[in-house]
Amino acid sequence: MAYRRTERVIRRLAARREDILAAARDAVAEGGMAAVQIVPVAERAGIAAGTVYRYFPSKTELVNELVEQACAREVETMRRAAEAAPGPLSAIAAAVAALGQRALQNRKLAWALIGEPADTETGAVRHACRAALAGEFGRLIRTAAAAGLLPAEQSPAVTAPALVGAMIEGLIGPLAPEIESNPARQREAVQSLTLLVLRALGVADARARGLVVQIALPAVTEGAA
């Protein structure tokens, strides 16, 4: 044998791989999914087009990994926020607020990754992502319902996806008012949305119960794009 990957090389390769993913992420954040093109992404990463294919078998795979990564991060954010909450209801509130907060931090990115579609292949991954979000959310709903905190008539199979849709559309969808750069209005929007979701689930007096205040602004600082 005459060649074996050194620790140093392995590290370099891994770093390069991350660079590519980061470049792709940046591209998405700037120009949406359509902006993820091999040559531009490669340039952004400071490498040649062909090199991308040393790390990813195809563009589809690259995009898939991007979406999966982002999705996992969101689900994790949600889960953590919920776990840190003192009870099932505030867990829901916290989850919504955390997700909303993050989404607002980079609306275009979030929208592109979760909302905007791509080829059929990628569609499956995105579907899995939404399903994961809805699933996690459904779990929170069921927990609260089981604890008698929500009207029992809930059908999480319908409400969870619908509310995920409400969050997506309400905050990051193309409809959302332009609040990108205004922290105060962002906070406001997230709160409105949180209240909306709670009401939708049958919690009429969330504000009175102080469910909103305690989740007002979960510091989300990790993993900046």
Partner DNA sequence: GCAAAGCGTGAACGACGATTCACGCCAGTG
Partner DNA sequence: CACTGGCGTGAATCGTCGTTCACGCTTTGC
Interface residues with DNA (CB under 7 A) are 1-6, 8-9, 12-13, 16, 36-39, 47-51, 53-54, 58-60
Residue 144 interacting with its own copies (CB under 8 A): no
Which amino acid type is present at position 190? V
SS3 190: helix
Using DSSP's 3-state secondary structure scheme, residue 180 falls into coil
Q: Are 133 and 71 in contact (CB under 8 A)?
A: yes
**Smaller CB distance to DNA: residue 38 or 98?**
38
Closest approach, Cβ 128 to DNA, in A, equals 20
Q: What is the DSSP letter of 215?
A: G
Judged by beta carbon, residue 10 or residue 162, the one nearer its own copies is 162
Q: Smallest Cα–Cα separation from 225: which of 83, 106, 124, 130?
A: 106
Among 27, 93, 164, 215, binds its own copies (CB under 8 A): 164
Other beta carbons less than 10 A from residue 81's beta carbon: 24
Amino acid at position 61, single letter: E
Q: Pick the binder of its own copies from 15, 72, 158, 213 (CB under 8 A).
A: 158
Structure tokens at 182: 């205004």
Pattern 177-216, binding to its own copies, x per CB under 8 A? x-----------x--xx--xx-xxxx-x------------
Instruction: Decide: is 54 part of the binding site for its own copies (CB under 8 A).
Output: no
Residues in the chain, overall count: 225
- Residue 80 CA neighbour count, 13 Å, CB half: 12
Residue ranges binding its own copies (CB under 8 A):
34, 115-117, 119-120, 123, 126-127, 130-131, 134, 155, 157-159, 161-171, 173-177, 189, 192-193, 196-197, 199-202, 204
